[in-house]
Amino acid sequence: MTVPVTASVDGARFLVRVVPRASHTALAGIVGDGPSAALKIALHAPPVEGRANAALIEFLSDLLSVRRADIAIAGGEHARTKTILIRGRGATEVAAALQHALTAMG
């Protein structure tokens, strides 16, 4: 199972489903299937004053080895399902990095 990553003018986009107030921040798998599949990420941070969004960007920065400035929440800023934009990276490159992280997860 993979997360669909689409190319855009700015970079690559994919969906994430966040679970705030988890016991720790970690990759938690994939939810859904097909074009609506999303990367599930547990976040220790609460969804208060943008803390969960900041934690999400920091986690994705480490996971994908990109600068935090190159990651944006392109949609769903106040929702649990968000569209993530990785600027300056191709869809194939981001999809491979996500697949590698999912495989390493076990």
Where do the domains of the chain lie, and which CATH numbers do they carry?
Answer: 6-105 (3.30.1200.10)
Q: At what angle do helices 91-105 and 51-64 cross, to 10 degrees?
A: 90
Tokens of 49: 């004053």
pLDDT (mean) for 34-40:
95
Q: What is the pLDDT of residue 72?
A: 98
Q: What is the pLDDT of residue 2?
A: 83
Q: Average pLDDT over the chain, rounded to whole?
A: 95
Rounded to two decimals, the pTM is 0.95
Q: Is the pLDDT of residue 20 over 80?
A: yes
CA-closest candidate to residue 62, choices 79, 46, 36, 43:
43
Radius of gyration of the chain (CA): 12
Residues 37, 41, 43: CA angle, nearest 5 degrees: 155
pLDDT (mean) for 94-99:
95
